[in-house]
Structure 1
Amino acid sequence: MRLILALCLTLLAAPAFAVQPDEVLSDPALEARAREVSQLLRCPVCQSENIDDSNADIARDLRLLVRERLLAGDSNDEVLAFVVDRYGEYVLFLPGASGYNLLLWLAGPAMLLVGGGLALLYLRRRRPETASASLSAEEEARLREILKQ
């Protein structure tokens, strides 16, 4: 019973952030902005986590860089642009739909449309198998006999 209770409490626990107490800014508004920007940046090591949730050293460096840029007076967009200039678009969870990224954004829907069109074309051209000839006189008589019963 205790094991089940412990498991339930573990599942209900809120996710722990990797932000260390020494990283937290004293101004709550700036800290909220830092968390907002951190949610948009991918950890280069963990790949599926944002830098706020990652315990990797590079994620800590990026969190400190974000806070440093915010303290310097940069806007959220300027901070993101600075990080992207330094580390590339890979660090963005949602890269912009331009250049080669536009090709990737459009490839999925395009393949879906092409596949749907090919499937529709196949279904329209497919002909159901029909009898090659009509029934003979004997078959018609046998059919009437069967249907009367």
Structure 2
Amino acid sequence: MRRISQVIRGGLVVLVLALSGPAWAVQPDEILADPAMEARARVISKDLRCLVCRNENIDESNAELARDLRLLVRERLVAGDSNEEVVDFIVDRYGEFVLLRPTTTGANWLLWAAGPLMLLMAVAMAWAYLRGRSRAARPQESALTEDEKARLRRILED
């Protein structure tokens, strides 16, 4: 009976954690009074990378730099910038690395194309290797000479 209650308690803990959803790092003092502006800030923040945590957006990160970026987004919105202007301002200041989804313009197209190009090159090299291997002459197996047979008998007898 005790084992069953432990399993139920464990299941409840897993259920609570699964239903809790993402934990936002946005502090109460950062939230804008206007719900529409705050919603815009959240939309922008979801696409901006925390430069400390790398693969977290700034809303999910507890890093000080992420907090500074969240505050900067809200300052720019309060100043009257559009969503695109806010993103452009932050990209100009921190570089394109701050975007979770980088653009495919400029030199970035090479980065986007590198994966598929490398795959095509690997397939072509594998095909060439297998084709060359199938065309290669097979080594001929020759029988042992009389000297080799005598030497082998001596080795096996010892």
Partner of 1:93: 100
The letter of the residue matching 1:26 is: A
Task: Find 2:128's aligned residue among 121, 124, 138.
Answer: 121
Partner of 1:147: none
* Match runs of 1:1-149 below 5 Å: 1=6, 2-127=9-134
Deviation at 1:19, TM superposition (A): 0.8
Deviation at 1:100, TM superposition (A): 3.1
Deviation at 1:66, TM superposition (A): 0.3
The letter of the residue matching 1:66 is: V
3-state SS of paired residue (1:22): helix
Deviation at 1:58, TM superposition (A): 1.0
TM superposition score normalised by structure 1: 0.78
Contiguous gaps of at least 5 residues in structure 2: 1-5, 141-158
3-state SS of paired residue (1:127): helix
> 1 CA distance for matches of 2:131 and 2:10?
59
Partner of 1:139: none
3-state SS of paired residue (1:36): helix
Contiguous gaps of at least 5 residues in structure 1: 133-149
Kindly, what percent of the aligned residue pairs are identical?
Answer: 60
Deviation at 1:65, TM superposition (A): 0.6
> 2 CA distance for matches of 1:3 and 1:97?
46
Considering only aligned residues, what root-mean-square deviation do their CA atoms show, in Å? 2.0
3-state SS of paired residue (1:9): helix
CA deviation profile, 1:23-82 (whole Å, cap 9, x unmatched): 111222211111110011101111111000011111111101101111111111110110
3-state SS of paired residue (2:70): helix
> 1 CA distance for matches of 2:96 and 2:70?
17
The letter of the residue matching 2:25 is: A
> 2 CA distance for matches of 1:100 and 1:80?
19
> 2 CA distance for matches of 1:62 and 1:74?
15
Q: Give runs of ≥4 in structure 1 deviating > 4 Å.
A: none
